[in-house]
Structure 1
Amino acid sequence: MLSARESALSVGLGRKTTATGEVTLVEELKLSQPVGSKPSVASKLRGYVAAATAASTFKSKNHQSSELEERRLEVRRAKLRSYSWLGISVVAGLLVVGGLVWAVFFSTLFALNAQQITVVKGSEKVSPAQVQTILRKWDGVPLPRVSTGNMEAELASIPLVKSAEVSRSWPNGLEISLDLRVPVFSVEEAGQWQIYDTEGVQIETSPVIAEGTLRAELTATDPQKRVQALQLMAQVRSQLDVELLEEVAVLRSEGSLLEIVLNSGAVVKWGDASDTPFKLKVLKVLLGQVPAKLYDVSVPAKPVTA
């Protein structure tokens, strides 16, 4: 409890407490003065110093608070600028990528020009004009969107072409490499010669027997059996030596069995494609030792001549 003197001083001086119940520094100094006495110079100076210190402290705190707030605002503005530049960069990047995609895949910048299709292999039998005609449906299509696989399949439809390889030649062309079929057999049909390769694929039709081919006779009418007959001929032919090949006039087959007609008119019953090396040795011995019109080596261990 405050004494009567302290109460009077408190009321007279208008003593106040802070929110925490503490007496302010200046008022505390005033309370320390005796009642009825005049404050000394030192007391006044202490009061002034205390007031100035309090004001300076308050001002410093306000200044620090202001600086802190300014820094926060600056950081916030910097982040906003960073986000803005990031957004601009992303949009610009997307525009560039979109432009490149459009230029490469949809514009005429890399569009195929049929006149710039060149045949780098196989042009001796298949002309560039023929290739360009087949691939003209892709004229004007950007090269990245061109299906080289479909092109190769289209080119393989040419009878002479066994396989094709298509490569892009930037910016507007193609390079074509053709693996051509080799003519091996000539089959006479209705006054014309049908030319076949080793797979039994008809390459072309010619008024004369193709140079370097063997004459073949296909007795079967079924297309599948005719192909089998040609493939059988190709298997046996590949194992005949040059000397015997020169003696071959005609190869004849119905599909599963083979006969060889020699230039002398003698007939060799070869049978199927099995035991070809053994059959070849036996036939050579027979040809050198036994003149005959018929040589049956279909069972090489038991050859027959007549």
Structure 2
Amino acid sequence: MPGKVVPRTSVPGKKTSAENSSAKATSERSPRGSAGRGSSAAGEAAVEGDGSAEAKVLAFPLPSYKRRRRTVLISVGAIVAVLVLVMGIALYSPALSVRTIEFEGNKLVSEDTLQAALAPVLSRPLPQVTGGDVSSLLKPVVQVKSSRIEARPPSTLVVHVVERVPVALLKNGSAYLLVDQDGVELGTTKDPAKAGLPLIDGGKAAIGKDTFQAMTGVLATLPKSILSQLANASAKSRDTVELKLIDGRSVIWGNASDMELKAQVLEALLNAPLPTVPAGKPAPVPAKVFDVSAPRHPVTR
């Protein structure tokens, strides 16, 4: 007879082996689940913490050298701006326009002539007036060789004039031309004695020649005290300049070498006192010719 399967009855209060196995498995899974849930919570907390750290940006103070550099840059910029403003006012302000022009050093040319020549400068801002502007305006005034300007704020312009110096006369018809070393005509006179200048041979046609330049170069070197004693100057070549004094004495100058030394020697010879003559002896004949062509060994005869 087939055997019967007898069902296992559970005793109250006791667990079967199957139940014990199930409970053990559950207990082993529970810590891992708890740990997983804990890790998840910690991760969320970490994410929230990171988000908070990114949201808060800490401001660190600038290093001291950077603060100083920024201060210097700001100061320099302010100074430059002020300078630009001041220069703009100075260049264009009508308060600094030229109202008065003064001249110094002019003797040959009248101040009225100079004022008329520089009339275009009036009312122009003083800082805008240059030496080149003044030189260009004075160019038609032949007596002016060069000029230099000086600004005296707020409205005065001072012009220092260097005039050409007449050194000789040139015969031109019935009149005499006053010329400087370069042959520039500075004026005319009908009475050569009043001019106190020597006459150059050749007239106006002599201007520009080598002999003319040689003669006027000599005359420009001589002091006024000797120049006023000369009657005329002549030269057959640039190396044979001769001078004639009003009293008839003559000077052999020679070439253009040692010009200043020759002028000093000639002045000393002309101003030398007459030698003392012993009683009973004839007085020496005064020198009529002064040869300074070799100034370290001058000759008189």
Separation (CA, whole Å) in 1 of partners of 2:155 and 2:219: 47
Shift of 1:176: 1.6
User: What stretches of structure 2 of length at least 5 have no aligned partner?
Assistant: 1-19, 61-73, 275-282
Separation (CA, whole Å) in 2 of partners of 1:262 and 1:58: 124
* Residue equivalent to 1:35: 22
* Residue equivalent to 1:251: 232
Deviations 1:123-154 (A, max 9, x none): 45555554343234455555555442243244
Structure 1 residues 114, 126: closer, same or farther in 2, change over 3 A? farther
Is 1:273 aligned to 2:255, yes or no?
Answer: yes
Q: Is the 8 A contact 1:161 1:180 kept in 2?
A: yes
Separation (CA, whole Å) in 2 of partners of 1:61 and 1:170: 76
* Residue equivalent to 1:219: 202
* Residue equivalent to 2:46: 60
Separation (CA, whole Å) in 1 of partners of 2:193 and 2:49: 107
Deviations 1:144-195 (A, max 9, x none): 5544224324435422222111244455553321122333334454444432
* Residue equivalent to 2:65: none
Of 188, 191, 201 in structure 2, the residue corresponding to residue 205 of structure 1 is: 188
State TM-score, norm by structure 1: 0.53
Identity of aligned residues (%): 20
Q: Is the 8 A contact 1:252 1:258 kept in 2?
A: yes
SS of residue matched to 2:207: helix
Shift of 1:223: 4.7
Separation (CA, whole Å) in 1 of partners of 2:134 and 2:51: 76
SS of residue matched to 1:58: helix
Separation (CA, whole Å) in 2 of partners of 1:185 and 1:61: 109
Of 173, 177, 184 in structure 1, the residue corresponding to residue 167 of structure 2 is: 184
Equivalences for residues 94-109 of structure 1 within 5 A: 100=85, 103=88, 108-109=92-93
Length, aligned pairs only: 246
SS of residue matched to 2:93: coil
Amino acid corresponding to residue 116 of structure 1 in structure 2: T
Is 1:175 aligned to 2:170, yes or no?
Answer: no
State TM-score, norm by structure 2: 0.53
* Residue equivalent to 1:151: 134
CA-based RMSD:
5.5
Q: Is the 8 A contact 1:122 1:178 kept in 2?
A: yes
